[in-house]
Each structure stands twice: as structure tokens, then as C-alpha cells.
A and B are shown apart, each in its own frame.
Chain A
């Protein structure tokens, strides 16, 4: 029996949690799950709280299954901190503490995370309290030594990018430590979800992170459908994957250019920018929105693909297939560019594994997990594709993973266009009169996106948690930058391209 099913079977199974089980644990079972995490037998997919409960989502990688484990009926004593034995849980637990007030016992770092002391309240997802009258300045970690100095950057950055704060401690040009401080774009999305109807929920989910609007809507819709037990028409299932692959294409080609630009090679940005724009225009022609926002809805999709749209996508494929290979060759053969990307920002494989790093960050450091492949959600179960994996873990490896993924997405788009079933694109959501829970893991361009939700009788959202892959990638950026020069930070940062909005929520 797999580790995960063993643990879940020892707990009390929750009714109407689909498609994977959720079990309620006692403190002992919670602790044995913590042990499995820290020993590497399970991967932490998410950790979130509400009222008097904490939940963790777990992945059993060898078995290819996921599930959730909960501690319920917590009081002021809190719960055993997962982070004390498993560091990837740290920021999640700091966030849980800010949002719900639930106290992780022996939390190794008790500084607030999302709560900057600027809201009018505390614990918006738990028992709400009034804000503290005074906020103490955020205590950055200390670094001491001769010649060591600090460089504060942000929250407002020099480019057109999202806000966050970076505190570099440097010795000369070399970064000794990077500390991130995030939470600037926290919008309280999960509190807005509570009590919302499904269309508002879908709207909010699609606005968690702009570059992953398709993937978030996709994951949200899947979680809802799992909860109510709705089967979506085949055509809609295929169109969803089509949009997801277009989103992946647009982001990958855009980022490949942007990474090269940060290595002082703007020619690639110009060319890749053209390809990105082509993808957005073709998506607009096909689905009526450049980013395909609000096109995936619970029950199906909101716009159908007509012949003109499909023809546009086919000529897009032809164009990228013509123009992309010379760019790859250019990347591969430009020594000034390679000089910056090879060996820079190396992320060790053990760390990527420990943190369950998703997407190109994990795959460039030897972790080949891809939700499309491992969970085989349709239509990916009937499509042929490879998941590229490299072991170097540097900026160069992350660029190559993206290059390979562009090629895979091109093939997927083509396969989808070739085999797109005909028929309806939407099934109405049935009303349910009991409590239902659903969970979904969808592969976005950046990695796996987790959505867990509980619907109240009648179908409104009771609680919805959305976990961005960046939660597990941001801490790794801190590790990868160490020992690099400050000037290579933009390069490392862009090659990770973690989401701020998705993380801050």
C-alpha cells in the first residue's frame, strides 16, 4: 500500500470529497504525515487553514495520487507546526497564522508574512480581531561580517514587474544572502471567495495571477465539477487543454526572450516578443480574449472555437515552427549569452525535490513531476507528449526546459486541433443540497496549481483555497542566488519568474 493511502486510511474519511480523499487526522497521524514529508516519502502540495481547522494536501509521487489530511476542532493551543521538521511549510504556516490566527506550535519563524499590519483587522479567514495599534518594523535576518553590506530593493521595481521587496546582503559583488519579503499584492481573494456564487468564484480564480488566468480557471472549474460530480462535455475538455497550451506557449516564448534580455541580449527579446504577440493575437481571434480570460467556466468553456479560429491557430503553429528553431540556434551558439546563463543561479536537485518544486524550476533540477502526466487528467490521457528533465539546475537549464516545452506545446496544440471532438461545450452545474468538497491539480506554465474548495448546501462557496506553484519556488530562488553576483540577480529571478500576485493572493 502506498504511503499516502496508508495515512489517509488511518484517518476519518470525509464524505463528498472528490476526486481524491480527504481524511481527518488526530495529532499522531498529523505527526506521522509530517515525518513522511520530512523523510521525502510524500511531497507537500499545500497547507492552509480556516476557522478551527488546518488542511494539508499531499502528493504520493511514486503512486501518482494526491489527497488531503486535516486537523479539525483546533483551539487556542494551535497545531503542531509542519515547518519545524519540513521547511517548505514555513511560509505557508506564517500565512495561515496571519490569515486565521491558528498558532503553529514551535514555528521556527514567527514573523508575520502576508499581514504587514496595514489592514483594519487581523485574521480575516478566522476569528476576526481588530488590528494591532502599532506595527513593529519587519525584522530582516541579520548577516554580519567584514565588508558585508545590505542592498534593499523594492517593493517598486525598475521594470514593468510586480511589487515585492528583496534584501540583499552582499560582500563586494557577491550575494551572501537574499531575503524576500512578499505580501504587497495581497488582495484578500480567499475571503472574497467565501460566500460567493460559482461564477464570481470563477472570475476571482481567473484573476489570481494574470499570466496563468487559463490555468487557474481550469483548476477552479475542475475542483467545482469534482465536488458536484459533473461530467463536462468532451469538446470542452479538449478546448480547455488547447487554451492551457496556448497560455504555456505565450509565456514560455515571452520569458525566453526576457531572460536573454536580462543577459544583455535584446535581440532575442525582440524576436520572442513577436512570437508571444502572435500567440496572443491568435488566441484573441480564436477565443475572443488575448489572455483567454473568463473562457473556462465551471461546467465547460464559455466560447467555442470556429473554423477561422482553428485556421488561425494552425498558421500560428506553422509560423512558430519556422521562426523558433533559428532562435534556439542563436541562443545555443551565442557565447556572450551562454557565458551569463551557464552555471548561473544553480538550484540543487535535493532542494528542488524537498520543496516539490513545480514546472521548469523543478524540471531543470531533476524533478520531473508534471501534473498533466502524473495525474493524467483528460484530455492529456489521450495525447502524446514528453516532460523534459535536466539536471544542471542553472539558468541555462531552465531556458532549455522552456525551449523543449515550447516544442511539446506546439505538438499538443496540433494534436488537439486534429482530434477535437464535436458537440456541446457546456453542461449546467446541478444544484446540490449537501456539503461538497473538490480538489484539483492543474499544470500551469509555471508549475502545478492546486485548488481546494468546499461548497455549502445550495452551491455557494464556503471556503476556497488556491495555491500557486510560486509558494515553493520563491524560497528556492533565495538558495539559487547565493554566491552569484548582484548583477546576475535579474537573470536568476527571470529564469524562475515566480508570481507575486499568485503567491500573495
Chain B
């Protein structure tokens, strides 16, 4: 393996991690507010097809990205209404959202499975992109990659250095006290869930508009679930989400290169790697029950009604 291959693998790893960064950072905010939305996979795939449809019809790729975000938010709104206003079980509602989303996306995408799209292009910054090694490693991505990387510091700032973030975390820890202090628990949870939906939608749109610019049924292939696992893996800390996303990006890419190296393993076994890696990492993190219990938002998954508490 020469240096060029290594750089190629690193670059591919970054891009493979990007949809996970969007979806997992979005879900992180949702869970910080005390809500567990298992519908990430459903929101992602509806974001993927909505983005693709809008881009294919309008010829505007960025309009597609916006549509992906909007579609993810609409899906999240369904979840928010049922779990926050009507106080239904969050686990079951999230599952319903995923089943609904997979069905809906297959249905919406029926006419688009053979449509070809240019896809969002990588930026070429003169001088910088032409630098040897660094140029490729740092300045050869499409704008959404940079957006994902920008999202991370913004989110850290918001969650840990802003008043809004403090309120979100307080609500996740103890909605009853937050309510007593006068914070609108339900409204803030709504906002968090909608933000998570928009991020999942963008993550999905990244898949169908940039990563592999095409639509195929079930193309998210469990990435929404891996994003959920990432949040646990990260013990609800944004830095670790970023790290984890690249780790899984690397595992995803590794499967192609193992085969390229002439190792004779059936492709199906290599495709299992991301899922097996997710399980392995979950085991490592969960082994110490205390880390999970200390870090998970205390009210995660519990419904809130101001007259019941």
C-alpha cells in the first residue's frame, strides 16, 4: 500500500463518516433534552428520497439538501406530536416512524430508481487543493463535509457555553425542576426533536446527493441505527460522536480495501463489519454500567406532563 492509497482511504473514511455525523449529532441534542427518538433511520431515508426527488426535478442540488432537511423535520414533527403532546411511548413511536419512513420512501422513490444525478461536487480551491498530500487530505471535499465539521464546534458551543444549551441539558436531566423554574419543557423538546429530524434528513440527503448520487430502496442500510448506537458509544459527548463517526466510516471503507488487497473473503462477510463493529463497541462502552448511568440524561425516554408530575 503506497502513500496515495492511504490518503485515498483516509479521504473516503471522512466522507463515509459524514452522514453519521449529521444524524448522530442531531440525535445527541434530542437525547440531551431527554427524548429518545428511535426513528432516525426512518427520518434519514425519507430525507434521502425527498432530497433526491427535489434535486432531480429542479436540477438544484442544494434545494435537494434543504428538502432533505425539511422532510426530516416533518417526520420528526409526527414523532414530537405523538410523544410530546400525546405522551405516547417513545420507543414504540420511534419504531413506527422508521417502519413508516421505509415504506414511504420506497413508495415515493418508485419512479426514481433509474434516475441519474450529477451529485454534489467536491470543492476545488485553487492553490490549497493542489498542495501535495495536504491538499487532498484537507481541501478536496464537497461543501457538506465542511458543514458537518462546522456543525461540531457550533454544537459544542451551544450545548456547553450558551444559555440555550444549559436549558436543554437541564430539561434532559430534570424536566420537573426545569418546569418549576419556568422553562417551557415541551416547547424546547419540540425544537430539539425538530433539529434532530433536520440533521437526520441532511444525513440522508448526503447519501443520495453526494455519497452515492442515486436512489435505491433501503439505501440508508441501517446507518440511522448506527447513529443511535454512536450516541451511546459517545456517552452523550459531541467529541466522541465525531470520533466514532470516523471510526465507523473507516470500517465501512475497510471492507472495500480488504477485498482490494486480494484477501479472499466473500463480500457479505465484509459488509457485516460495520454492524459487528457497532455491537463490539457498544459492549465495550456499556460494560461499565456506571459510565452509562452517569452520562445519560436522567429523564431520557420518559414522557412529561406538567399536571402529572
* A and B physically associate: no
Chain B interface (Cβ < 8 Å from any Cβ of A): none
Chain A interface (Cβ < 8 Å from any Cβ of B): none
